């Protein structure tokens, strides 16, 4: 759909593919195209799961430093809104999202991977937030999403040092969920995504929203978010079908309504 970001849908799984040679740097155009892809996929009822993929060689090496290096404070104040907004649009896709990580996922590339619900990495993948080595800090969600995922101490270690972690360490600290041979990354993500096809799409969206919104608030408010989402399920055809199938000891047929 875009010059550098495409969307391919097959078997109700959408693949958001980054293809900006050589390293999929996330310049302003890529950011806009990511936001457009997210909106398109989120609104498509035929899409049940999503894969983020940068190709067989690299996921995304980060933001476009050449584009940013001459920006003033005023210019970056405006640009950073677009940068964060693009990645937040990916994070808010109301369907399971899996990042298929090959090669480097650094800086903005790592922050993009953090927007997924799950991360599958190749054995030779490298992840990190190296912005401090440029005299900067992460600006696309790294200081917020990373500690929520792996804890503040581990996030500070990565952000303060700017070091890269390999796939084995990323798995050990919870930065990725699965590690597979490099050539199997996309296939593994596709197989995982397929487990959501034909599932209760409304319930999956509600569960994702309840978890993500609940993480941003206190327990009491989070429980209220859950209660409202849970109650709302009783207005759906899927819930009726699921409970009816349970009592009848049959397999439910969900329609996403």
Positive or negative CA dihedral for 171, 63, 71, 144?
negative
Please check whether residue 30 is in contact with residue 80, taking contact to mean a CB–CB distance below 8 angstroms.
no
Q: Is 93 left (phi over 0), alpha (psi -120 to 50) or beta?
A: beta
Active site residue 8: no
Active site residue 33: no
Q: What is the DSSP letter of 112?
A: H
Q: Which of 111, 191, 224, 237 is catalytic?
A: 111
Please check whether residue 242 is in contact with residue 151, taking contact to mean a CB–CB distance below 8 angstroms.
no
Enter the tokens of residue 42. Answer: 């989120």
Enter the tokens of residue 83. Answer: 């940068």
Q: Which of 75, 131, 226, 237 is catalytic?
A: 131
Query: In angstroms, how far is CA 127 from the centroid of its own chain?
Result: 14
Q: H or E stretch including 98?
A: strand 97-101
Please check whether residue 227 is in contact with residue 83, taking contact to mean a CB–CB distance below 8 angstroms.
no
- State the chain's maximal CA–CA distance in angstroms: 66
How far apart are alpha carbons 109 and 127 in whole angstroms?
Answer: 8
Catalytic residues: 111, 131
């Amino acid at each position: 759909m875009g010059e550098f970001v495409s969307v391919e849908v097959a078997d109700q799984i959408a693949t958001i593919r980054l293809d900006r040679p050589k390293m999929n740097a996330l310049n302003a155009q890529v950011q806009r195209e990511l936001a457009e892809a997210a909106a398109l996929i989120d609104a498509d009822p035929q899409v049940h799961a999503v894969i983020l993929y940068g190709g067989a060689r690299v996921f995304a090496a980060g933001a476009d430093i050449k584009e940013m290096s001459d920006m003033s404070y005023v210019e970056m104040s405006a640009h950073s809104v677009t940068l964060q907004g693009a990645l937040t649009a990916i994070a808010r896709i109301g369907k399971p999202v899996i990042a298929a990580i090959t090669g480097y996922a650094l800086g903005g590339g790592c922050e993009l991977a953090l927007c997924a619900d799950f991360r599958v990495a190749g054995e030779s993948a490298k992840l990190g937030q190296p912005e401090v080595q440029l005299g900067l800090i992460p600006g696309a969600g790294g200081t917020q999403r990373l500690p929520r995922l792996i804890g503040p101490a581990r996030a500070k270690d990565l952000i303060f040092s700017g070091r890269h972690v390999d796939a084995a360490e990323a798995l050990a600290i919870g930065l990725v969920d699965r590690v597979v041979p490099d050539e199997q990354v996309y296939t593994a993500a596709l197989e995982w995504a397929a487990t959501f096809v034909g599932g209760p799409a409304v319930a999956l969206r509600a569960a994702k929203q309840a978890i993500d919104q609940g993480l941003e608030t206190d327990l009491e408010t989070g429980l209220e978010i859950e209660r409202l989402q849970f109650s709302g399920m009783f207005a759906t055809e899927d819930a009726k079908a699921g409970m009816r199938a349970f009592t009848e000891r049959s397999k439910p047929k969900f329609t996403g309504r």
